[in-house]
Structure formats: structure tokens, C-alpha cells
Chains A and B, each alone.
Chain A
Amino acid sequence: MSTLRFAWRYLWARPLAAALNVVLLSLGLASITFLLLVAQRVEAAFDRDLAGIDVVVGAKGSPMQLILSGVLHLDVPPGNVPLEAVQALKKNPLVAQVIPVSLGDNFQGYRIVGTSTDYVALYRGALTQGVLWDAPMQVVLGAAAARKLALQLGQRFVGSHGLGAGGHAHGDSAYQVVGVLAATGGVLDRLILTDTASVWKVHEDYTAQDAQDRQAMEEEREVTMALVRYKSPLAAMSFPRWVNTTTEMQAAAPALEVTRLLHMLGLGAEVLRAFASMLLLTAGLSVFIALWNAVRERRGDLALLRMLGAPPGRIAALLLTEALWLGLVSALLGLALGQVFVLALGWMLGLDQSLLLAGALWPFELLWVPALALGVSLGAAVLPALGAYRSDVLQLLQSR
């Protein structure tokens, strides 16, 4: 339709002003896109990694630390708990499943997690190569860990102490790769999984002086925490209290802690959102000024259109369409830019394998961005369009 075409031509007849407005608007929209995407991805990541875990039982300390370290693998754990105590949990009639998790070593920054094969099943991990472990010192690699470490089936490696790269190497206890998992998009991807017994073996081999010593250590075996699934949701009412009061351990509900965490992050998001709104408001004002000036400059031309028989509504539509084009171009650019920002953030923080999945996502919420773009640009165009609607035609045509 030619209204669209003429509006497009008029918009780019002032290339500098148009480009400036597109840049301003799309920066504001990119910030909004960025916020929406990050919020969406963080929540999705939490949902994904927390699924199937009703409560985490571990050493006393900060419950959030327990969740961050044991479930999301972002923090260090508060301490260890005796294996016996964890095994006792299984006897509780409210508990359907207990998955032990032992942390302590890493290989080139990737955590070696001692656990049972139930852990793989919990996150629906599927093997792309090899098999799951059936003996200590065999490991299965998450997809991202396998890719980054470039380890092949059958290859051996020695873990180092601690959860970050560069700890003391555990001399002669070497792990052997027996399997590689397919990418799940979750926490599983960046872990090295092995049997719980491997972790004990490594540390006992390393510290035990003689057989008696080893015997003593075997009796004091520990795990870092246990992931617990209830038989019925009603267990949430009593089980955590039971753990907290009758054992030396604490129970932390992931859902509760993550809600608390999101609430704390939410304060930061509010500040960013206010900032993005300011940007958008500035962009809206700039579009308004640009259109207002365009109408002033073109008053004579617009009056001539009236003289050529255009009803005022058609002229107002021309200006609104011009603003609409501006909004549309900015929305597309803003969406693209926002996606780039998210990818850049993921890349810079090394989060691209965990919280922020690589690759662009287009969640439904992003419809807000074009809606905002059109709202702001049309809003800014209303007054100038009204001005054009009410022009005194002949006066304008004769003004010198």
C-alpha cells in the first residue's frame, strides 16, 4: 500500500534523525529484551535443575548455600555429613528416594561428583557413548565437560583437590572415562559423575598410612549431602522439621531457597528495569521531537496534500505510519541486540553452559518488545499527527 511506501520514504528523507531515533529506541528495547530473556532463562534453569528434588539434606549452615552447591553446583558446600546418617534417611517412611552427592574434587575446573546412577536418571541423562559406571574410579562425563576437556572413552585422568581448578593433584588414583552423556541443557552437562565410593577411595588412598588407618577411615565415611524425593507432597509439612530437630543435619527445600534467591535478584532486576524504562522514555521523547520537527518542516507539504484532496485523517495516518516504521525497525533491531547482549553475557561470565543456554530463545514474553516499540512510537506521534490534522491549509501554502 502506498501509505506505507510514502511513510517509509519520508522517514528516511531525514536519515540522521531517523537513524538516531532508531538507535535510541532499539537500545531501550534491547535492554528490555535482555531483562526478559535473562529472567526467563534463570527461572527456566532453576526449574530444570530443581525438578524432582523435594528437599536437600546436608551439613548445618546456610540452606541457600546447600542448594547452590549441591543442586545448581555454583557454590562450595557447607560441610560433610556422615554416610550413616544419610542412610538412615532411607528408613523414614516419608522418603521415596535418596541420592547421595559427594563433592570435593575437580578436573580442570569441572566438578567430580560422587553419586549413584539415580542422579543421572533424575535429570534424564542419556548416554551418547559408552556405559554408566559400575565400579569406583569410572567416570561418566556431562556433554559440556566432555567437549571442553576433550577426553575420549578409556582415557585416564587425575583429579585435583577442591572445587576450582589448580588444587593439589591426587597422585596415583586415576579416573577412567567409561561414558559420555548427551546434552540436557541442565546442570548435568558440566559435571563429571562417578560412584560415591570413588571419592572415598581417592582420599583414603591419599591419606591412609596403613591398613588399620584405612579401616578407621572407612568407618567414618561421609557424603556432602543427599537429594531427597518424598513419597507424597504432604511430607513437606513434617520431614524438614524432623531432620532439623532430630539429626545433626539440616533440610533445605530448593523451591523455597530459589524463591528467596530470585527475590534478592529481583531487586537488581527492578533497578535495571527502571533504567530500561528511562531509556525508552528518552527514546519516546526523541521520536516525539523528531516527528514534531518533521511536521513543522513539512507543514507546507502536508497542507498541499490537503489541497490535493487528502482528508485530514489520511495525512494523520501518514505520520502515524512513519512512526510505526520507526517502531518496527527499532523493535527488530532491539530484539536482535538483546539476544546478542545475552549471548555476550553468557560468554563473558562463562555461564553459557549452565544458567544461560547458548543459542537464541524466543519466549512468548518477548512479544512485549514490539508492543512497547509500537506503543512508544505511536504515542510520540499522536500530538504531531493532531497538529497536522488541524493545519490551516491556505495560510500555510501562502506563507513566505
Chain B
Amino acid sequence: MIDAKNVQFAYAGGATLQFPDLHLSQGGLLLLSGPSGSGKSTWLAMLAGLVAPSAGSLQVAGQAMGAMGSLKTDAWRAQTIGFLPQKLHLSAALTVRENLALAFWAAGRTQDGARIGAALDELGVGDLAQRLPAQLSGGQAQRVALARAVLMQPRVLLADEPTASLDDAAAQDAVNVLWASAHRLGASLVLATHDARVAPLLERALAGTSLAPLQRLVLSATVAAGSV
């Protein structure tokens, strides 16, 4: 669940951006787009609790953003937010399995080997557990990164440009796997993308289900009224 009303963010330079309102129910699907400079990074950062809105109310998975201390926010993020970065950021020094174990370390939790195995198996990369990221294909690496993102069974899954530089077949595969993972967890999925191929792929995945339709949020750099 994501609920945004009158959200503003004041940058250190002085400008304040106004973000559109949004209501996304739990398990919903959101396509986020906007030109660079439209505040996409900021919006994702606010969603993950890395920065707090300067005005308005933003609720993510029932939690009001900006209401917790920073350590609590970090713990909340570990539990609630799954993130698939465009560049994946798998640690080259660690094996696939250790990369997932790193998520437990980051969350400050004891490592659960069975859960790591299950997450890899669900994405069909269980037999790659002992490989180094350099020994994976692009598609395999993305699945490993996705396994890491869903490892803590987050309520919200954020994916940043998951189809960039993929061919049509790979893009379709990536979108399907993402949607299936989010659906399995009952997590809301936020997909930030410029890629026009993504929306039709998602619509097709939703067709024939009783799920809420795909929502879109298009950001444009809207300077908040009253700010310089």
C-alpha cells in the first residue's frame, strides 16, 4: 500500500518539488515514469525511507514516512522494501549465495540458509549458488538480484529500469518474473522505467486476472507553489 497526499520535497539548493497524489492498494502495480530531473530518484528515495518528505503525508505499507528515527527506518526498510537496481550491484567478491547472505547481514539478522536456497530456487537459479557474479549471464544475474530483493519478503518491491538494454524476449521475461515474484509475495510493485515496451507486457500479465488494473504515475518537475 502506498498513499501520497500533497507530498513535497525541499532540496538542499532551495528548490521544492511538488509530487502528485497517489493511492496504490497492497499488491497493486505502478508504472513510474518521468524525464530526468523530474524527481524520480527523490520519489523512490522517499518511498524507501532514505529521505523524508518536507511536507504532506506519505504512507508506505501502513507506515508514515519521516516519523521514525534513522535506525528504525533502516530496520523497517530491510523488512519492507525490496529493491532491484538497474545495475544490479551484486558484489563481485562474493558468490551468489553470499550475495544473498549479505542481505541478512545488512538487515542485522542471522543468516537463514534454507531461505536463501528457496529464494534462488523460486527464480530458477538455485544451481548457480556457488558461482561468482562474473560467471553469470545478464539474465541470470538479474534473477539473482531479484532473489536478493525478495529474500526478506518485502511489502513493496521497487524495480529501477529492469528492461533497459534487454532485447524483447529478455525484457518480456524480466517483466514476467518481476510481476510473478511480487504477486507471489502479495507485494506492491513499483516499476520505474522509460521503456515503452513495459506497459503492454504488464497489461498482458494482468489480463484475465481479477487484480486491480495497472496504475501510472508520470512525474514532471512541478515546483511547489510558494517556493522559489
Contact = CB atoms under 8 A, between A and B. Distances in A.
The answer on A and B forming one complex is yes
Interface of A: 2-3, 6, 9-10, 12-13, 298, 300-301, 303-311, 314, 393-395, 397-398, 400
B48 A307 contact: yes
Given A306-B50, A309-B78, A314-B108, A395 B87 contact: no
Contacts of A13: 92-93
A390 B85 CA distance: 20
Given A2-B105, A398-B41, A308 B94 contact: no
B75 interface: yes
16 contacts: A3-B105, A6-B102, A10-B93, A300-B85, A305-B102, A305-B106, A307-B77, A308-B78, A309-B79, A310-B106, A311-B74, A394-B42, A394-B44, A397-B87, A397-B89, A397-B160
A301 B101 CA distance: 14
Nearest to A318: B105
Contacts of A310: 74, 78, 105-108
B15 to A, nearest CB: 16
B101 A2 contact: yes
A307 B85 contact: yes
Interface of A is mostly: helix
B25 interface: no
Given A309-B81, A310-B108, A395-B41, 19 more contacts: A2-B104, A2-B111, A6-B94, A6-B98, A9-B93, A10-B93, A13-B93, A300-B87, A305-B102, A307-B50, A307-B77, A309-B78, A310-B74, A310-B78, A310-B107, A314-B105, A397-B85, A397-B89, A398-B41
B75 A304 contact: no
A305 B83 CA distance: 11
Contacts of B74: 306, 309-311
Contacts of B83: 304, 307-308, 397
Contact of A308 (B92, B102, B160): B102
Residue among B42, B45, B75, B91 facing the most chain A CB atoms (10 A cut-off): B91
Interface of B is mostly: helix
The 3 residue pairs across chains A and B that have the minimum distance between CB atoms: A309-B78, A13-B93, A310-B106
Interface string B36-73: 00000110110010100000000000000000001100
A303 B83 CA distance: 12
A283 to B, nearest CB: 23
A391 B74 CA distance: 15
A306 B103 CA distance: 10
Contacts of B105: 2-3, 6, 310, 314
Interface in B132-167: 148, 152, 160
Contact of A309 (B86, B89, B107): B107
A278 B86 CA distance: 45
B71 to A, nearest CB: 6
A395 B42 CA distance: 9
Contacts of A398: 41, 85-86, 160
Contacts of B106: 305, 308-310, 314
Contact of A9 (B42, B76, B98): B98
